[in-house]
Chains A and B, each alone.
Chain A
Amino acid sequence: MYTFSSKLKTFSFILMAVGLLGIGYGFYTAPKDIKEVEQLLAAENHGGHGAIKHEVSVANESHVVGEDSKVAKVSEEAEHSEHLNHVLHQLQNKPWAALYVACIFFLLISMGTLAFYAIQQVAQAGWSPVLFRVMQGITSYLPVASILFFILLVLSGLHFNHLFVWMSEGVTDPKSANFDEIIAGKSGYLNFPFWIVRAAIFLLGWNLYRYYSRKNCLAQDEADDNLNYKKNFKISAAFLVFFIVSESIMSWDWIMSIDPHWFSTLFGWYVFASFFVSGITMIAMVTLYLKSKGYLEYVNTSHIHDLAKFMFGISVFWTYLWFSQFMLIWYADIPEEITYFVTRIQVYNLPFFGAVAMNFLFPLLILINTDFKRITWVVVMAGIVILLGHYVDFFNMIMPGTVGDQWFIGVSEIASVLFFAGLFIFVVFTTLTKAPLLAKRNPFIEESKHFHY
């Protein structure tokens, strides 16, 4: 049995406390009205009008596109106030978006782990059963994350923030000044009730699988036949079918709909690759931590080697999808699609290309070596870079549509990550103390104990 070291527990509490303070600070310092924005902008650029007007053109495309025709007609004064209003929304979105990115990132890390776990069950992998309890520990964060994330979605729906443009008042009403024909055309799919019900179904489905899978796995320890194991096999197969459908829709709902004027067909796979590799990396990191504390007797370097191979392979897979999405749109250069990347390259240049360096070049060059994949510090280092890289990847997906050119990785962003990291550590390691770290009667456990590559 694992005992939660008091040091780690304190560490997780510190992370949560510091994170909460930072999140609070982020919300407290967000501008409340247009006057504050005006002061902010005046302090930032002394150029006055000219510089400010220039920003309008670079600013967030999804907001601007629908307003283009109007902007041309209105007087300079009105344009100025419209701009201020726009910046106000972006700045008010900033702490919310920071919270949203961190929340969905850790939620999806536990989902990536859950998908990997289900695949291992269905594939009847002979190497991984010694890691099942570690994976179950990581996925125990899923229920907590689901609740927090669902609350965040509901708050968005109740207009506490402007994360989702398509939720604003009047976008579907032809008489409103806010009317957006493109979004109105999508309102059969993008409407709050349907959207929130979908989210509830997906989160519920994932959590149900996690709950029963863990329950059966624990029951298998005490049983004298393999019924529970077979049950797990079946529900894992069913889950994977449900997962791939729900995952795809989830990526449209929670991420792609941030930019409701834009769409991409391989987006679901791209998001999947991003959190799948993060999940596998997290399994490797937690495994290495527990191993270093002497809790995983049967885990040897071959298990680590296998995990590192998955980290390497799926990193390359992510890059393949990243590039396929980018290159197809860049090559054809269709205006309604390319705006997505124009914003990212012009305004998010470093994070946009930095993510490729962190998620592709670094793991490619480090984890290609067989000997390196067995060295703890190499895998940990690669893991840290991959996890940070995929945080940046989610940052790139969500921030341009919510805060536009007002982005910054500052107090709000870091504090949100710290809070969820602390919560994640606390929940995961608490669950790890609840059951033995080695599944007893898994049919493949003997093979897994003696696995060597």
Chain B
Amino acid sequence: MSNKVIYAIYNDDDVLMDAVKKTRAAHYHIEEVFSPFPVHGLDKAMGLAPTRLAICAFLYGLCGISFGTFLMNYVMIQDWPQDIGGKPSFSYIENMPSFVPIMFEETVFFAAHLMVITFYMRSKLWPFKQAENPDVRTTDDHFLMEVAVNDNESELVSFFENTGAVEVKVIEKH
């Protein structure tokens, strides 16, 4: 079984959107689309599931506020409840206003950083990562749609030539 794919290359995002819609209508499986910039509505046209990154961030924020509360409660109230300038260190709630800046910043810190790390992990990005660029022009001014070939090579090539592609290549993938 060969794993051949079609690279259909476009030079306009509107043409690309049309091509994606046609490809979906013809029930060809789109492996990937490469674009130099975010194309508004592309994910919807491709039928990608919405991201759940925001839900992650909310949960991380909850962790952050819990950590901030725990930290200040342990340090300032439980461990060594000193009288510092007359602040009431008898219970957490009594001295709560002075802890709010820390609780807030911890929430934002956890939510932001953990969400970014989640994003890197989910999209497999890290410093010495090998770039996965099928065609260098896709980072500059070309769009590329990758579609799997299953014994219907000539049919696919002619299909993509009709969608306004400036170039259609058949590539053997390893």
Contacts and interface: CB of A to CB of B under 8 A. Distances in A.
B86 interface: yes
Contacts of A326: 97
B100 interface: yes
B86 A331 contact: no
Given A323-B97, A323-B100, A327-B97, 9 more contacts: A326-B97, A327-B98, A327-B100, A330-B97, A331-B97, A331-B98, A333-B86, A368-B58, A370-B54
A326 B98 CA distance: 11
Interface residues of B, number: 6
Contacts of A333: 86
12 contacts: A323-B97, A323-B100, A326-B97, A327-B97, A327-B98, A327-B100, A330-B97, A331-B97, A331-B98, A333-B86, A368-B58, A370-B54
Interface in A215-263: none
Contacts, number: 12
A323 B97 CA distance: 8
Chain A, interface size category, equals under 10
Nearest to A326: B97
A331 B97 CA distance: 8
Contacts of A327: 97-98, 100
Interface in B69-114: 86, 97-98, 100
Interface in B38-72: 54, 58
A327 B104 CA distance: 14
Interface string A368-379: 101000000000
B150 to A, nearest CB: 37
- The interface centre, meaning the residue of B54, B86, B97 with most chain A CB atoms within 10 A of its CB, is B97
Nearest to B86: A333
Contacts of A330: 97
Nearest to B55: A369
A323 B99 CA distance: 12
Nearest to B97: A327
Contacts of A323: 97, 100
A212 B58 CA distance: 45
A47 to B, nearest CB: 30
Contacts of A331: 97-98
Nearest to B101: A327
Interface in A321-372: 323, 326-327, 330-331, 333, 368, 370
A203 B54 CA distance: 44
A384 B98 CA distance: 31
Interface in B126-147: none
A323 B104 CA distance: 12
A333 B97 CA distance: 12
A416 to B, nearest CB: 33
A370 B57 CA distance: 14
B84 to A, nearest CB: 12
A333 B100 CA distance: 17
Nearest to A323: B100
A338 to B, nearest CB: 12
